[in-house]
Structure 1
Amino acid sequence: MTAEKVVEIQNISMNYHTLDGETLAIHNLSFDVYKGEIIVIVGPSGCGKSTALSTISGLIKPSSGKVLVNGQEVGGTNKSIGYMFQKDHLFEWRTIMSNILIGLEIQRKLNDETKKKAEQLLEMYGLAEFKNYYPSQLSGGMRQRVALIRTLAVEPDILLLDEPFSALDYQTRLSVADEIGTILKKERKTAIMVTHDISDAICLKWLPIFYRYT
């Protein structure tokens, strides 16, 4: 049985233009991601990793080349893609439960069924007893789990993770990386993560891609 290709990066390059000139962020990058794969792109700060994710999500358009998701060329943001940023971006004035539901609210998908599924995710991943807490009452690792559950609640087909452990101390990031890797595998999600730290890829036991433009 042939694996289903869900992301295709076809020779993309990205140049940023400023008053001072042109900056090359990505040069001639190509790779494919298949359904159910979880990969990590490892590279130093400033090599274009986050830019690559932004082109996949449709937040920016590459200067040249194509990005296809589920066989369709990306022309803007896509509700089938979930994006988890470096910081958890939880709203401090909202409870954990209301933070998790915010994506469903924005996409107008909030109803009894989707709320129940969000509550099940909280229960499944050990945060049910904290649903009425506020972000300031949680540890950094727990906040990252909340951020992931918030992303999963809208049921995206593909998850993009932009250095999601960078704000955590070393011991916590190893623990949280293992937890998040387990969650993604259990949910059978296709995921692409970028990081500058090879230990993130090693502890996750994902498939690392080493990338530096030349």
Structure 2
Amino acid sequence: MLCGIFSHREGLSYFGLIFDIYSSLRRLGFSIDFLSPEATNFNDYKLIIASGVMHTPDKLKELLLNSIAEILFGPRSNAKSENMYIETKLPPNLPKIDVTVDRVQTLRPDINIPLEINGNAKYYIEELEGKAVDIIKTSSGISVLKSKNNINYLGSWLDGNGFDELFISLCNKINLDYTVMPYGVRRRETTDHYYWFNYNENETKTIIGSIKGADFVKIKK
């Protein structure tokens, strides 16, 4: 996951978006690496998320677009120049996928837009145009995720169910194994072991057996 700068309406933040994405990936049992925008080697990764990076340096954009990993841009990726103004060519300005953000609709805090899949778009939704294939749409047919080959652009901040469905779809596309974790249970992977942590007060059943409350299990690979 790449780090960047995010700004939209009052009360929203880049870190809020990334935390929602992080939480979804953790619910699917993944360990996550946070990478600097100055990173140059993505060879060890199958899925790279560049959401909310408002200014994407040309070198980074080229590296991501030429990577063999599945790449998720958006929302708000490459929306501003280095000096934080809107470029003449509308975002996300990604040469390998035909998608353009025509405008952005801000939503009231109490309004969610249902998706065709499980979940909702919230806070805002970008109006996406272009010939890239629609992978996720709202229940009324508005494009939310466009894709071409391994490049994807997401045009909204999703709720938890929406992000879960999105990442399950991407994992299935690239045959990346995931495990839907029980509530309050998370897994971390190291070179040699898996660690399953139960943050619940009570014992919780998992696919590896029961874990006592506030305890963990270490499993050798």
TM-score, length basis structure 2: 0.27
More relative contact order, 1 or 2 (CA 8 Å, 6+ apart) = 1
Q: Greater helix share, 1 or 2?
A: 1
